[in-house]
A = this chain, B = another copy of it.
Amino acid sequence: MHPAIPDEFLDLMAEKFRMLADPTRLAILRALMGGERNVSRVVEETGRNQANVSKHLKMLADAGLVARRKEGLQVFYRVDDPLVERLCKLVCETIVQEAEQEVERHRTLLSGWSKASP
């Protein structure tokens, strides 16, 4: 029912996840989710320096997550894999939910404490 998955396939999966496993790349993707952007604009919106952004953009492009378009001096990038938005959305929601649960847990702990020690 649950046959093992060939290593080659696991590597492909891991690579997809690895691309999303870095805060700078996530920030870049977030910027690109606002629409196509040139490198300078991504630099502004992410607060990272230019060399760094260029390097990560290359990784993302090599992995096929973003597409490149050259126009004169500038280079424009855009998200090019529908997976990106869906994965990020799922994870975001989960983190928010976990945070809410944590708040709720504290609330109940606190109420128990206030009852237990009047």
Contact = CB atoms under 8 A, between A and B. Distances in A.
A86 interface: yes
Given A9-B95, A83-B91, A90-B87, A22 B14 contact: yes
A81 B93 CA distance: 13
A10 to B, nearest CB: 4
Residue among A2, A47, A88 with most chain B CB within 10 A: A2
Task: Name the prevailing secondary structure of the A interface residues.
Answer: helix
B30 A11 contact: no
A83 B87 contact: no
A109 to B, nearest CB: 19
A90 B95 contact: no
